[in-house]
Structure 1
Amino acid sequence: MKKALLIALSLGVSVTATTTMAANVDPETDRAQQVDYFKAKLPKVDVADYKDGAYIYSADKKAQWEAIEEFPPYTDAVDAGEAAWNKDKAVYEKCFGSDVTQIRAKYPYFDNAANTVVTLEGAINKCRTDNGLKEYKWEKGDLANVSGYLAYQARGQQINVKIDSEGAKAAYNKGREIYLTPRGQLNLSCAKCHTYNSGRLARSNILSPSVGHTTHFPVYRAGNQFLSTLHNRYVGCMKNMRATPFKAQSEEFKNLEFFEAYISNGLEINGPGYRE
């Protein structure tokens, strides 16, 4: 059971049985094994570079991306996020404190009292509604812009998700199951694309590795030309699988984010990011 996930992924077989067998894995052992899997696939790539996503697979693509980052197209969105933050600054400071550089790195985390994963975007909207402000629309717009502003302020800090309770461990395993379970008409899982087939092409785009997936969100995608949240990407991926997606900030997607963030522990936050 200890190596069941890696064996299944390395062979490219269905992981349904693996999910059942390993429904309660040790998160840290699991995280280390997944990192080792990518290290074996990418022996010349430093683990710290996994924060760069799909660009670790192509020197040419990475050079193009680095050139774009000199004058990133998401600058206006980050500025809009800063303006939105400052507009309701007094409210936000009640919820998050006055140091905007210290907010992003705290999320996601497991709230034992509420028995749920708390994401940054969820916390932003809860702060608003708890203080009489209108909730932002999920997935993009003001919510993504404010999240992008906070991510930009936190650049260089490391992801450090903690699992220190049975509730948190259960949330990790539930997120892991979402990641492993094939779904939709194409019968694809997140793992099929972002672990086993990471580095390969899908619709001319390179599939990114799961380790490091959460470091650069929210993301400005060239095809969309706006910042979108991680859960917006989850929705899009499930639609690509021809599956009915869970809703943004559903328990399923919050657990999936918790799982992906934990396996990316130790990597630098470099959001918001640009992707083709």
Structure 2
Amino acid sequence: MKYAKRVLSLSLGLALCSAAISASAIDWWQLGNTKVGPQKTLQEFHQYFQEQFPKMSLAQYALGSYAFNKQAYQQYQEAMQFNPGDLTLAQGKKLWEAKFPDGKTYASCFSDGGKGVAAGFPYYDSKTHQVVTAAMRINACRSSNGLKPLKYGNSDLVALQTYFTSLSNGLPTNVKVEGAGAVAAFEEGKAYYFMHRGQLNFSCASCHVAYAGKYLRAQIISPLLGQSAHFPTYRSAWGAVNTLQKRFMGCDKKVGAAPQKLQSSEYRDLDYFMTYVSNGVKINVPGYRP
């Protein structure tokens, strides 16, 4: 709980300073308390964003920053008609359906061929005591069928993740945090989200909670709620489809912090926390972002 300890002490101190604030209102720094548990965390985050943006429905959070500007939303609708990410989706479908040397396919590794399964990813595996992501499960499927795992970040693996996740399109995110190990991993992810780091001394929460919906230079900052629902996503800045963890790396670099490796325990726990908080937001993959 290395990150959790730091954030807990900060949270307790800030809580004392905010004692005079109305109990019905939630201030963003209070959301970093790592001792309230997953269920209350989910409730408080949803309440916080409802207080900040009372006219927004839960479904609109899947739009990210596009939900805050009508003109940008129109551009988004136009982009989604010819989303460049659909090329990656098609590539993923082709790979998904290709037969392994033993005659099986990726679908054989997942219940119902993978339909609706990604809505519950990532999840905590009590046997291996770690958070398991879609990329890990896809590579495990390859290994069990006689193929070598793909390197994390590999374009084929990203395409497979995109197609696998698209099999849950239209379904609400439904990640579970059950058991002591799962709660510990969730709290580590939460602590990482609120931990200040890098030369700019920013945390993820500094932007996507405290300044969600506000402009940073020419762009509106997207809220935490719903961010995971459109990943893997096509970003024009990348010129490609990539994953939520790839975005973590970019954010860490921007604040002057050394990024973690893809599928590191830190990023998997962070992924776990962020996706759980977005429970109820419907999946729409591949997304499209500037």
* TM-score under structure 2 length normalisation: 0.86
Q: Is the 8 A contact 2:97 2:105 kept in 1?
A: no
Partner secondary structure for residue 82 of structure 2: coil
Matched length: 270
What is the aligned partner in structure 2 of residue 247 from structure 1?
A: 261
Quick check: 177-186 or 222-231, which moved more?
222-231
Q: Is the 8 A contact 1:172 1:259 kept in 2?
A: yes
Q: CA deviation at 1:130?
A: 3.4
What is the aligned partner in structure 2 of residue 82 from structure 1?
A: 93
Q: Choose which of 179, 182, 187 in structure 1 pairs with 2:193.
A: 179
Q: How does 1:1-276 map to 2 (within 5 A)?
A: 4=15, 22-88=33-99, 90-276=104-290
Distance 1:258 1:210 in 2: 13
Q: Given the superposition, is the C-alpha separation of residues 84 and 259 from structure 1 closer, same or farther in structure 2, using an over 3 Å criterion?
A: same
Partner secondary structure for residue 137 of structure 1: coil
Moved over 6 A (4+): none
Q: Is the 8 A contact 1:140 1:226 kept in 2?
A: no
Supply the AA of the counterpart residue of 1:224: W
Q: Is the 8 A contact 1:25 1:173 kept in 2?
A: no
Supply the AA of the counterpart residue of 1:247: K
CA displacement 1:118-172 (0-9 Å, x = unmatched):
1111111122233331222323511111111122221111111111201111111
Supply the AA of the counterpart residue of 1:197: Y
Supply the AA of the counterpart residue of 2:166: Y
Distance 1:23 1:41 in 2: 22
Provide the aligned C-alpha RMSD in A. Answer: 2.4
Distance 1:47 1:72 in 2: 23
Q: Is the 8 A contact 2:120 2:176 kept in 1?
A: no
Q: Point out where structure 2 has 5 or more consecutive residues left out of the alignment.
A: 1-10
Distance 1:224 1:163 in 2: 32
Higher Cα radius of gyration? 2
Q: CA deviation at 1:18?
A: 8.1
Supply the AA of the counterpart residue of 2:144: D
Q: Is the 8 A contact 2:96 2:107 kept in 1?
A: no
Q: CA deviation at 1:198?
A: 1.1
Q: CA deviation at 1:24?
A: 2.4
* TM-score under structure 1 length normalisation: 0.90
Q: Is the 8 A contact 1:110 1:117 kept in 2?
A: yes
Q: Is the 8 A contact 1:183 1:241 kept in 2?
A: yes
